[in-house]
Amino acid sequence: MHFVNLSPSDARWAEALPVLRELRPHLTAESLAAISAEGHSQGLRFTAAYDDTGRCVAVAGWRIVATTAVGRRLYVDDLVTTAAARSQGVGHALLAELERRARAACCSAIALDSGVQRHDAHRFYLRERMIIWAHFFTKSLA
């Protein structure tokens, strides 16, 4: 397994977007390009995991943020492993890579939000020794 950082204009998005769409089906190439371009200046980064055959099997969107709650942390916006590669250690490897990056950046924590309906994902996060620390509230402005 190897990890690749994807810039907003990276041609490998053609391989990574279908994986990311398994979590975010509303994304199109155009909407992702716009989000990635705007988010990049805000610290948004994407890392893709490729298996030994060169196939993109997982994608993480993440950023390092400073918060009053925990100080510096690596926040994971998106973490998805393609359905065909689940339960093969891919998600674990990608999360471990993000943790390595967080430690290198002197972060005190790694954090993410997960939809309440994503029970399989919750089991994975708990196995990865993450804890449920807070409730996340949102209000649509649409």
Determine how many CB atoms are found less than 10 A away from the CB of residue 46: 24
Q: What is the dihedral of CA 96, 102, 31, 16, to 10 degrees?
A: -30
**pTM across the whole model:** 0.89
Rounded CA-CA distance 2/111 in Å is 22
Domains of the chain: 2-127 (3.40.630.30)
Strands 71-81 vs 56-67: parallel, antiparallel or unpaired: antiparallel
Three-class DSSP category at 65: strand
Please report, in tens digits, the pLDDT of each residue of the chain (142 residues total).
999 999 998 999 999 999 999 999 999 999 999 999 999 999 999 999 999 999 999 999 999 999 998 899 999 999 999 989 888 899 999 999 999 999 999 999 999 887 777 888 888 778 889 888 887 888 889 8
